[in-house]
Structure 1
């Protein structure tokens, strides 16, 4: 009996759509994003999420990404909630690599245009404490932090220059807060670089897959060659 169960990547808080393509036939990418949810609500949800994908003797969660903050209105609660969620992840998944992703800078005028009466105001200045909380909590919990500000703006960018900031973010944030196609691509590329540097065993370009590519299967020895890389009982 050949075992080809795939280990998993958990995306909590937002989707990294390109990861599913990158890890096809190598790892299962499990997306648990909840549109409009803040960390108060996600803190309540996380135990249930983990219960549905809890590791088994044959399947491990290898990587967890956490991207939250776009819908929070109080940075103190954001920090406390994120602290509790990271503590739970480290306790429940001690062998998983966890990457905390900072909420992105904001295209101020576009976010203002897209907001409604129920939405808290979002500006880059107001998001800055959330970013700082991510740095501090990542260090405290011994996890990696991927900084969207550096990814999208470059190190040392003057975020007080609002016209330049918004020009830089125009192709990246579709509604001023959430990623467009260019933002998703930049985030994916940044995460891949971090993985290659900090966790090369999870590099999607070099990870083995449990079943062979079709053009490398020998029809005369299909059972042997299809499962060339499979775990065996």
Structure 2
């Protein structure tokens, strides 16, 4: 304590701090981990999807529209190919006893599709056969199957690239690169097609951002070479979707977001944001806050909040009554149950 002011010298010295910390440890963590999750599992394109350095942030927009309905978790891993991601997957997804998982969006291929033995950093290339196998194992992994059949899995195709922008960005990173391309539009397209084929094989919806971007760029999907190739004139529309030829710009993320919401509406309309219940009742829904006909204020006692919104946690005595949060419509958010 400060002898002159007689006030706590730091937050940790506050007399109630240990009590609050104990409460948070017992209850708060459980509440956070008890939500329905929307997991984004991919490479740097997803890792950067919350960035505020672009005009539109895909991850932030998704978090906003599902606010208080689904918890969006960013598990984008910059630089990872599917070989590395498959090893990391069990550490990236929630355990079913901790949290449920409504959506799993998988987006890889930008690194797998690097040209084999291309100069620059460590080898990222993964053969297309192994790439497909790795994605199949991700979808069928025990850490996904543990959540049952209710997980909505979405495969996202590798976005197209712009070779000119990629070369400039790579030359800045690797000064000795010269004119060697580490990625090509044609090779990237092969990995996008592999994802389409796998989605068809496993009957999993595919968000085809590769085809969507090329369509916006005026490509008919029949003519070669592809937009973004150095064998074609510069395509301003395609370039507008990409910052460095590989990663998405704000407009690229905006298109990805629009395609995702359209896909969800088409395949799982019941999981659209406006059709999911709020995680907690609305502040002005009076029946929630009434106990025996009156409004009861929560009170602090025994290291925790008591009252209508007391959280689940701990081991209540056998036969005791405890108010718990349950999933349901707004009018049935709180119920009394026997524990």
Post-superposition CA distance 1:170-201 (Å, at most 9, x none): 21111111111111111011000000010011
The equivalent of 1:10 in structure 2 is 39
Q: 2:66 aligns with which of 23, 47, 56?
A: 23
In the alignment, the residues of structure 1 paired with residue 78 and residue 332 of structure 2 have an alpha-carbon distance, to the nearest angstrom, of 38
Post-superposition CA distance 1:137-196 (Å, at most 9, x none): 112222111101232122724462544663221211111111111111110110000000
1:109 counterpart = 2:164: yes
Point out the more displaced range, 77-86 or 88-97. 88-97
**Corresponding residue SS for 1:36:** coil
The equivalent of 1:54 in structure 2 is 95
CA RMSD of aligned residues (A): 2.7
Which structure is higher in RCO with an 8 Å CA cutoff and minimum separation 6? 1
- TM-score (normalizing by structure 1): 0.85
Gaps of 5+ in 1: none
1:168 counterpart = 2:225: no
Give the number of equivalent residue pairs.
225
Q: Which has the larger radius of gyration?
A: 2
Point out the more displaced range, 6-15 or 72-81. 72-81
Deviation at 1:135, TM superposition (A): 1.1
With over 3 angstroms needed to count, the CA separation of the structure-2 counterparts of 1:149 and 1:19, relative to structure 1, is same
1:192 counterpart = 2:261: yes
In the alignment, the residues of structure 1 paired with residue 109 and residue 334 of structure 2 have an alpha-carbon distance, to the nearest angstrom, of 39
Asked whether the equivalents of residues 23 and 204 of structure 1 are also in contact (C-alpha less than 8 Å), the reply is yes
In the alignment, the residues of structure 1 paired with residue 262 and residue 234 of structure 2 have an alpha-carbon distance, to the nearest angstrom, of 24
Q: 2:195 aligns with which of 127, 130, 134?
A: 134
With over 3 angstroms needed to count, the CA separation of the structure-2 counterparts of 1:63 and 1:165, relative to structure 1, is farther
The equivalent of 2:137 in structure 1 is 84
Gaps of 5+ in 2: 1-30, 50-57, 113-124, 296-308, 310-329
Point out the more displaced range, 81-90 or 174-183. 81-90
Point out the more displaced range, 197-206 or 152-161. 152-161
Asked whether the equivalents of residues 210 and 229 of structure 1 are also in contact (C-alpha less than 8 Å), the reply is no
